[in-house]
Structures are given as structure tokens and as C-alpha cells.
Chains A and B, each alone.
Chain A
Amino acid sequence: MAIDRTPGSAASATADDAPAPVDRDGAGELAGEDLVVGYPGTDAPVLDGESLTLEPGAVTALVGPNGSGKSTLLRALATQLDPETGSVLVDGQDVHALDAKALARTLGLLSQESASPDSLTVEDLVYHGRYPHRGFFEAVTESDQAAVDRAVSLAGVEHLRDRVLGSLSGGQKQLAWIAMVLAQETDVLLLDEPTTFLDPHHQLEVLEIVETLRAESEVTVALVLHDIEQAARYADRVVALRDGEIQARGPPDEVVTERLLADVFRVEATVEHGPRGPTVTPERPLHEDGA
């Protein structure tokens, strides 16, 4: 009845040297077309007819001031919000044509809400990432274990594996959650503000994972970031939003300019283009209407 596993040579062999998730069939192209997205109880939609296609295999950063609609756009792409009009396509297929589990094998989301039972261990949490890969009566398989091992190793939480979430710091928890979405082994990975509220060390830990995905895997990544310099450094493409409209999109060097910082973030800043991408030095806030 139970599916027995031979003590895993395959699992431990792949754990160390293969951070890149396998088992990808699609190209990992995610596109939102003419998205009109609002929240119940508000009149005007937050996004009014925006389109965005994520370049397969690349890292796209969504930036913008608070309330600019960047998280809304990401959550619409993640099919967490139903657009009033417009559609979301995964590898050319409308998301509504896929069943929930099939979609979850293609499209992963690190949510901002991180409600988790304190007594759950990191390993158990990461195993939840395998949910869409398991049938109703199926036990854990070798490929589940291998995926969890890879995810735990890539997220750098091996030393936390048997700890319960309640005993972890905010940054450690975030890494555990990232390990969970990595274990999902999706073609597209959406990260909603993965670095917000983290200390610098854990911000860099998270961004290092993104860096690894960018360099060593075919995963399409989109993430919402507050720090425009981080966006410029870790992303292949930057999308800047303000008031629910995409103001600029393209490679960091083209998008991150003094003009954009003034227009979108209302910040006067100097931007210098160095070998590691643009560096941004904010000078002072700009006030509208000459205030």
C-alpha cells in the first residue's frame, strides 16, 4: 500500500550540486493582457488596462512608490485577484483553462501574508510546496524528497530544517517560505515584496537566491522590490509603476534614470552607471505643486 523508497542515494547526490529545479516542460512565459483590476468596495480600479509579459528565464523587478499598484499587478499575474477584464496567459494558455493544481505546478507565488502554525517545522513547511505534485492518496515520492532537498539547499536553510517556525526570526522564516515555493518547482516564480521588513543580511540572502535562479536556472522570476538600487542590480528587466500605470520598462540601465526617479518616485537623486548596474543616491524628496 505504501510506496517504499530505497534509502536515497539519488536524493543526497542531487541535494548539493543541483540547485536548479528540474521537471519543466513549458517555457515559463507569463503574460497579463489589458488587466483591469480593482478591489471590492472601491470604485476606480487600481490597474486600468495594463499589459505585461515576463521574459522567460529572466528576472523582472516591479518597482514603484507605495500604492502604485505593483503588488496588485503581481497578485493579478499570480491569479490571486480576478481581473474585471483582461486575461492572464501562461505559455499562451489562459489560466482559467488550467485546473488549480496544474496551474500551481507552473506558477508559484511567495505571498506577503505569512501565516504559519508555530509548531510547524521548516521541513514540513517545505513539503507543503509539493502539494500540487501529489495526488489525493499519494504518499511522498522520491522526486518530492529530491525537490525538497534542492529547495532547502538553494534557500540555505539546511541548518534550520528541523526547527519549528515559531522559534525563527523574521528573516529565517522568510527563507523557509522561499524554500517552500522553490520546492513547488514552477516555471514561473512570483515574489511579493520578499525583502520588505528584513534586516540587510536577510535581504541579501533572499536576493542571492534570486541571483542563483537568474544565473543557473530557466525559472522566470518576477518580484516586487522597494529598493530601486536592488532592483537595478538583481533584475534583468525593471518595470516602474505609478498610480496604477506602467511608466517605464526595460533593462535597468535604461529604466533607472534621474528622470524616472523624479517622475515616478518624486525623489531628486543622482544615478551613476557603474559595472554592477546603476547606483542611486537620493538627495531630497520632490514636492508637487511647489509645496
Chain B
Amino acid sequence: MSGGAATGHQEGHAGRGRLEWLRDPSLVGLCLASLGVVVAGGLVQVTFGPFTMSPARAWQGVVDPAVVLDTRWMLKFLLGEGPMRAVTGYAAPDMPAVETGSLVVWTLRLPRVFVAVLVGMNLAVSGAIFQAVTRNELASPFILGVSSGAGLAILLTLVVFSGLTALLPLVAALGGAGAFLLVYAIAWKNGTSPVRLVLAGVVVSTVAQSLQTAMFLFAGDIGVVQTAIAWTTGSLTGVRWTQVRMVLPWTLVSMTLAVLGARQLNVLLLGEETARSLGVSVERVRFALSGVAVLAAAASIAVAGIVSFVGLVVPHVVRNVVGSDYKKLVVGCLFAGPALLVAADVGARLGMAVLAGSDSGQLPVGIVTGLLGGPYFLYLMRRQQNLGEI
């Protein structure tokens, strides 16, 4: 914080220090509330599951010093077992002993919460960026063809090139990024415009989705279809530390770039002509920021598939609370995105058990976010006159 900078020029005006805006009470409140949801959802997630233990035992497991303070365990989680052994020189065949409860919490249940946090962040910020780039409040991370490209790549891999199944996360992310580049190429004609980008996105999505649906007809057995559906609706079932390691670096990169690009996003919102007259290289900035958003979306697709609605709803909720200043909006999304996804994943993982009384079925989390997102938009439609304008 730039201490003491709050006393600006004339009386009554807010300070203009570098981080002064972070003190906005509505933003602080939103972040704290989101953090509360994440913690509460996380605690629920680590408590329940096939291995039965008391809440107290599970929560002790989360802070078990035998795991948390052991660099070998932490490095194994964050880097993988091989690199951990290389770094620490640990040579024993087994990992250091910890209680089973802690082991279940740390190896099975917590990584799922962490992945939900990272995916929620990525999707929310990605959506926020695309809403500025396309100047449309109803834009999502998938508006420029990313989801349909990824979906097609997933289906092609599962049905046609089944030898590549091990590389599915990478193929899905690349499919999404490829579709985005195709959209940009189609939209480009001496530069782009928000409308042309969205239309090109529709073109590519339509074709890719038709092909994707056609691909289902060639799927040999129901298992392949179920895998495909889990990927194309978004699921966190079975994610482990491998997925955390997969998504974490890209999340750090894209979230940092998004925070740094907030001022450019703010100027883009003033309209292309004004942005250009203020010295923004509009085309370059738009492509670069879209690239950041696609990177975030692709990283989340690689670990969770195509989770809908998070990237659409979260920026919207945050904007309603903190306003359209992208510095605040991006930071708000970094907290609110994880809150929505962690909460939705509680429903996805445990909802069926509560409703149907069986502990077998888990829903893809994308189904839960869709079930939450739809009614929220209905509510907005009823309440707001000018939905859609940023």
C-alpha cells in the first residue's frame, strides 16, 4: 500500500495511490465473502466421501503438520514425486508416514478443491476479459469458439484418434486455442471489430458443434460417450495433484497478465476510436488480451473440461458489486470465480448422494453451474432493463 497517499488534491476526493482502489469496501467485502464460501465449501469437500471420518478429524487432516510442514510431501504435491526426490535427495521407497485420514484429505480430496479454485479463477477472469474485448456483457470465455474447438478435439481424440487419449487435456486445450485463432483469421479484414469477432465465433462454433455431434454417432460404446459428455460439460471427478500441477503455472501466468492488462481493458471500454486516440494500439492489445483469456480458458479445459456459465455469471455478479473498473473487476473475479466453482462442485460431488441416497453417482460440475446460472440470468432479466450493455 502506498501509505499516506490518500490525502490528494482537493478535499473529499479519493486518493490515487497505486493500490488505493484495493481499499474499496465493496471489493474487500466481496473478496472476504468469496473466501468464506471457498473455505466452507472446501471443508465440506474434505469431510465427506467414501472414507468416513468425523469433520474434526478431516479438518485436523487439512492442517496436519506431518504433511503441511514436510517439504517432501509438499514438493511431491506441487512438482511430482520424481522432481521431489531429485530436489530433496529423498531415496526411501515409501513416502514419510502420515495418518490415513490426513492422507485421504491431502491426496484425494484437497486437490479437487484446489483445481476448482484455479479453474474458477481462470474462467471468471477469462470471461471478464472477453466481455471487454467484445464489448458485450453476455460474452463468455467460450464466445470466440474456444469451447466448440475444444469439444471437437475431445470427440476426435476419443472416437477417431484413440491412441492420443492420454494426451486428451493437451489436445482439448490446443483445439480451443486453434478454434480461437481460426475465429480471429476469419474476422480479420484490415483489422477486427467486436461484432465481426462475435460473428466469426458463431461461424466456427456452429460448424465445430455439428461435427462434434456427428462424432457421437461413431462412438463405439457407451463408456466413450460418457467420457465425452463428462469432458464437454465439465467435470472435476477424479482430479488429483497431477491436474493441479497441470493448471497452476498457466493460471499464474494468465492471471498476472490479466491484472496487468486491467488498465488497457478500461481504456478499451471507452470505445475503439477513443482508445486509439489515447495511444492504445487497439488491434494489438485486443489480440494480446484475447490470447491471455484463451490461455486461461484452455488451461481450465485441460483439467476440467468445458465448464459453462462460470465465465459468464461471475464477472456479471462482480460488476454489479464493484462497478466496471477492470482493476477491481479482475481482482473480484479472482475470488468470486473460485467461490462459485467450489460451491458448485460440492453440489456436483455430494448432491446426488443427498438427493438419491446413493454414494455412487457424481454429476459433472458443469451441470450444476448451468443449473445455477440459468435462474440467475432469469433474475437479472427481470430486474435489469438494459442487460447486455457493459
Contact = CB atoms under 8 A, between A and B. Distances in A.
Interface of A: 1-5, 7-8, 11-12, 15, 40, 75, 78-80, 100-105, 107-109, 111-120, 123-125, 127-129, 131-132, 136, 139-140, 144-146, 149, 161-162, 164, 181, 184
Contact of A101 (B189, B190, B279, B390): B279
Contacts of A161: 13
Interface residues of B, number: 40
A136 B263 CA distance: 9
Given A131-B279, A131-B280, A7 B135 contact: no
Given A3-B2, A80-B273, A123 B279 contact: no
Nearest to B7: A7
B277 A149 contact: no
A106 to B, nearest CB: 10
B1 A117 contact: no
A151 B118 CA distance: 43
B135 A115 contact: yes
Contacts, number: 122
A100 B274 contact: no
B88 interface: no
Contacts of A104: 277-279
Given A8-B8, A161-B13, A109 B273 contact: yes
Contacts of B276: 79-80, 100
Given A1-B18, A111-B271, A15 B278 contact: no
B263 A131 contact: yes
Contacts of B3: 4
A8 B18 CA distance: 16
Contacts of B324: 117-120
A103 B269 CA distance: 20
Given A111-B271, A113-B271, A139-B18, A184 B13 contact: no
A181 B274 CA distance: 9
B266 interface: yes
A177 B1 CA distance: 30
B13 A128 contact: no
Contact of A149 (B5, B9, B266, B267): B9
Given A120-B325, A145-B9, A145-B16, A132 B279 contact: yes
A80 B280 CA distance: 12
B80 to A, nearest CB: 34
Contacts of B325: 119-120, 124
Contacts of B164: none
Contact of B270 (A3, A115, A132, A140): A115
